[in-house]
């Protein structure tokens, strides 16, 4: 499978992969933090600012009409990419973090009351913890957590045990940014449906690596970011079922999200614009369309198969390193590996690998409660993408062994 995937051709699409770092060829293994960008995305950004930079909507001049057309076309691409029913269900944000904040603020204020319960899991990113803590404190809600197993998998029996008739909302990550665990999202959502609980899925790590069909999942909300899937930074998406978004109050006030304004009162715009106050990140949203195009042209099944093979190869190679322990060993996971090495601090390891041109992430990965679960303050993390290769993994292992021998 790996030999049939055109990774050498794909790598030529990413100019930064030709860069040398500390006199070594760059090996970029920090893809869970952000992915690199192909020429098609970079060129799109340049083309926008060079040829039709303009504010969108309401403008009747040529540049405004062109920018509006390209911007709204991205919304259609996103709808199709996740199989939403309508463009009205696609709201652009600055990222998955803002998306979760939008839902926690707007949905909770619109539908929950003091004493109601929200559930998250122990493996959540801070972006899926802090907003719920903030709104819970403000509204007198109760925040509960689902336990995870030692291998880094959600304990479904524990989830069932903490549900009560006051549980109204669940927010859970699709794929852990620290452990790589792919959670049984459909099963979790089914449990929610059986108890009339609304659910949000944090898909930030999933959308570049696996097929996402929000209608098949039957989630109420789904959030993700462009920059985790070869697109620009500063762009995110909230998918929400139209009937829920219609009933939710706006998240921010200002231009674009209004229908009519007077000093007496304001009426709000139709979906999805009700949730898109102010001038959006136009050029980057348009660039996002090209990253979706890029993924679609390669094929998500092809990407998933290649990355799974590379994941399995990496798992076996990591076993060759003395003193290395992988944190999170779920049976169902993507190519994200958090690890520790005996007698070597993760920060030191990150610096020593950087000297060899290898980029990894070190620290708590915005999952401090998860680190506490494993009695750690941080790890090193290697994360794979479609342009990574077996040769790069070999070089990483070789470099790691050389470091440990010193």
Q: Are residues 284 and 203 in the same domain?
A: yes
Is residue 222 within 8 Å of residue 214, measured between CB atoms? yes
pLDDT tens-digit profile of 63-84? Answer: 999 999 999 999 999 999 999 9
Q: Are residues 273 and 320 in the same domain?
A: no
pLDDT tens-digit profile of 133-144? Answer: 999 999 999 999
16 has a pLDDT exceeding 70: yes
Q: Is residue 37 included in any domain, yes or no?
A: no
Q: What is the mean pLDDT of residues 40-52?
A: 98
Domain boundary among 281, 296, 311: 296
Q: Are residues 309 and 352 in the same domain?
A: yes
Q: Are residues 236 and 324 in the same domain?
A: no
Radius of gyration of the chain (CA): 22
Q: Is residue 145 included in any domain, yes or no?
A: yes
Helix axes 346-354, 390-405, angle to 10 degrees: 120
Q: Is residue 36 included in any domain, yes or no?
A: no
395 — pLDDT class (breaks 50, 70, 90): very high
User: Which residues, listed in sequence order, are joined to residue 362 by a DSSP beta bridge?
Assistant: 380
Between the CA of residue 189 and those of 196, 254, 276, 339, what are the distances in Å?
10, 34, 27, 30
**Residue 1: predicted pLDDT:** 39
2 — pLDDT class (breaks 50, 70, 90): very low
Residue 308: give its domain's CATH number.
3.90.1150.10
Q: Are residues 177 and 92 in the same domain?
A: yes
pLDDT tens-digit profile of 49-61? Answer: 999 999 999 889 9
How many separate helices (H) and strands (E) can be counted in the chain? Answer: 14, 17
Q: What angle do CA 110, 116, 120 make, to 5 degrees?
A: 95
Is residue 140 within 8 Å of residue 115, measured between CB atoms? yes
Q: Is residue 38 included in any domain, yes or no?
A: no
**Residue 258: predicted pLDDT:** 85
Query: Chain-wide mean pLDDT for the chain?
Result: 96
Q: Are residues 99 and 244 in the same domain?
A: yes
DSSP 44-99: HHHHIIIII----SS--SHHHHHHHHHHHHHHHHHHHHHT-S-GGGEEEESSHHHH
Is residue 226 within 8 Å of residue 99, measured between CB atoms? no
pLDDT tens-digit profile of 260-308? Answer: 999 999 999 899 999 999 999 999 999 999 999 999 999 999 999 999 9
Catalytic residues: 366
Q: Are residues 260 and 358 in the same domain?
A: no
Q: Are residues 272 and 334 in the same domain?
A: no
Q: Is residue 367 included in any domain, yes or no?
A: yes
Domain boundary among 272, 296, 320: 296
Q: Are residues 230 and 126 in the same domain?
A: yes
What is the domain extent for residue 370? 2-30+299-405
**Residue 59: predicted pLDDT:** 87
Q: Are residues 247 and 334 in the same domain?
A: no
390 — pLDDT class (breaks 50, 70, 90): very high
229 has a pLDDT exceeding 80: yes
Give residues with Cβ within 8 angstroms of 321, minimum separation 6. 341, 397, 400, 401, 404
Q: Are residues 100 and 120 in the same domain?
A: yes
**Residue 158: predicted pLDDT:** 98
358 has a pLDDT exceeding 80: yes
**Residue 336: predicted pLDDT:** 98
Total number of domains in the chain: 2
209 — pLDDT class (breaks 50, 70, 90): very high
pTM of the predicted model, to two decimals? 0.96
406 has a pLDDT exceeding 80: no
pLDDT tens-digit profile of 85-129? Answer: 999 999 999 999 999 999 999 999 999 999 999 999 999 999 999
238 has a pLDDT exceeding 70: yes
DSSP state of 15: G
6 has a pLDDT exceeding 80: yes
Residue 108: give its domain's CATH number.
3.40.640.10
Q: Are residues 267 and 377 in the same domain?
A: no
């Amino acid at each position: 499978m790996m030999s049939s995937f055109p990774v050498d051709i794909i790598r030529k699409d990413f100019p930064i992969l030709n860069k040398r770092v500390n006199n070594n060829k760059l090996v970029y293994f920090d893809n869970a933090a952000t992915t690199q960008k192909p020429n098609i995305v970079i060129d799109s950004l340049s083309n926008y600012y060079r040829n039709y930079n303009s504010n969108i909507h309401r403008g009747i001049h040529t540049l405004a009409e062109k920018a509006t057309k390209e911007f709204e076309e991205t919304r259609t691409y996103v709808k199709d990419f996740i199989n939403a029913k309508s463009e009205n269900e696609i709201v652009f944000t600055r990222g998955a973090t803002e998306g979760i904040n939008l839902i926690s603020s707007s949905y909770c204020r619109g539908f929950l009351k003091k004493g109601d319960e929200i559930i998250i899991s122990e493996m959540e990113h801070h972006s899926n913890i802090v907003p719920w803590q903030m709104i819970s404190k403000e509204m007198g809600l109760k925040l509960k957590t689902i336990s995870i197993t030692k291998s880094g998998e959600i304990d479904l029996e524990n989830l069932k045990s903490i549900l009560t008739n006051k549980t109204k909302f669940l927010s859970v990550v699709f794929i852990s940014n620290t452990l790589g665990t792919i959670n049984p999202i459909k099963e979790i959502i089914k449990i929610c449906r059986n108890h009339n609980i609304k659910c949000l899925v944090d898909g930030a790590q999933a959308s570049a690596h696996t097929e996402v069909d929000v209608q098949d999942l039957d989630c109420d909300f789904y959030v993700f970011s462009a920059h985790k899937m070869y697109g620009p930074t500063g762009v995110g998406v909230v998918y929400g079922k139209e009937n829920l978004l219609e009933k939710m109050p706006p998240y921010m006030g200002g231009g674009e999200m209004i229908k009519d304004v007077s000093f007496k009162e304001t009426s709000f715009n139709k979906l999805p614009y009700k949730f898109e106050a102010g001038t959006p990140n136009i050029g980057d949203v348009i660039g996002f369309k090209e990253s979706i195009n890029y993924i679609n042209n390669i094929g998500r099944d092809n990407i998933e198969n290649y990355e799974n093979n590379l994941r399995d190869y990496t798992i076996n190679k990591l076993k060759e390193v003395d003193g290395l322990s992988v944190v999170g060993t779920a049976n169902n996971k993507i190519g994200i590996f958090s690890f520790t090495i005996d007698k070597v601090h993760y920060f030191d390891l990150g610096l020593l690998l950087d000297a060899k041109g290898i980029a990894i992430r070190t620290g708590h990965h915005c999952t401090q409660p998860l680190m506490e679960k494993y009695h750690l303050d941080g790890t090193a993390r290697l994360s794979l993408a479609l342009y990574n290769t077996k040769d790069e993994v070999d070089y990483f292992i070789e470099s790691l062994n050389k470091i440990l021998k010193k």
